Amino acid sequence: MLDISKRLLDGDKRALSQSISLLERNDPDGILVMKDVYTSLKGIYCVGITGSPGVGKSTITSKLTEIFRDHSFSVAVLAVDPTSPYTGGAILGDRIRMNKHYEDPGVFIRSMATRGRLGGLPRMMNGVIRLLDAAGQDVVLVETVGVGQTGVDVSNVVDTVVVTLVPEGGDSIQTFKAGLMEIADIYLVNKADRPGAQRMIHAIDNYLSTSISNREWTVPLLSGKAVTGEGMDKLYDAIKLHYEFMIETGLLDKRRRERRLKEASGIMEEYFSKLTNQLINNDPKLKSLLSMVEDGQVEPYSSAIELLNGLSYSLEWGGNSPP
pLDDT along the chain (323 residues), means of 10: 92 95 90 94 94 87 96 94 51 59 90 61 85 96 70 84 81 55 89 88 82 76 94 97 96 93 86 82 83 90 80 55 39
Question: Which of the listed residues 219, 249, 279 is the one where a domain comes to its end?
Answer: 249
Q: Is residue 10 part of a domain?
A: yes
Q: Are residues 86 and 36 in the same domain?
A: no
Residues 6+ apart with CB under 8 A from 124: 23, 24
Residues 100 and 150 in one domain: yes
The predicted model scores a pTM of 0.83
Asked if residue 66 is part of any domain, the answer here is yes
* 141 and 223 fall within a common domain: yes
* Residue 185: inside a domain: yes
Establish if 254 belongs to a structural domain: no
Domain membership of residue 323 (yes or no) is no
Residues 95 and 65 in one domain: yes
Tell me: do 21 and 119 sit in the same domain: no
In a domain, residue 255? The reply is no
**Whether 34 and 49 share a structural domain:** no
CATH number at residue 95: 3.40.50.300
Asked if the structure places residue 11 within a domain, the reply is yes
**256 inside domain:** no
Q: Please check whether residue 222 is in contact with residue 186, taking contact to mean a CB–CB distance below 8 angstroms.
A: yes
Model pLDDT, residue 189: 92
pLDDT of residue 323: 39
Number of domains in the chain: 3
> Any idea what the Cα angle at residue 100 is, between residues 97 and 101, rounded to 5°?
100
Shared-domain flag, residues 294 and 306? yes
Instruction: Note the pLDDT of residue 32.
Output: 94
- 31 and 98 both lie in a single domain: no
User: Which residues have a Cβ under 8 Å from the Cβ of 162 and sit 6 or more positions away?
Assistant: 47, 48, 49, 50, 60, 184, 185, 186, 187, 188, 235, 239
**Structural domain of 35:** 1-40
11 and 93 assigned to the same domain: no
* pLDDT at site 313: 58
pLDDT value at residue 174: 54
pLDDT at 214: 59
Domain final residue, candidates 193, 223, 249:
249
Question: Does one domain contain both 3 and 98?
Answer: no
Q: Which of 40, 55, 70 is the last residue of a domain?
A: 40
One domain, residues 21 and 151: no
Note whether 19 and 147 are same-domain residues: no
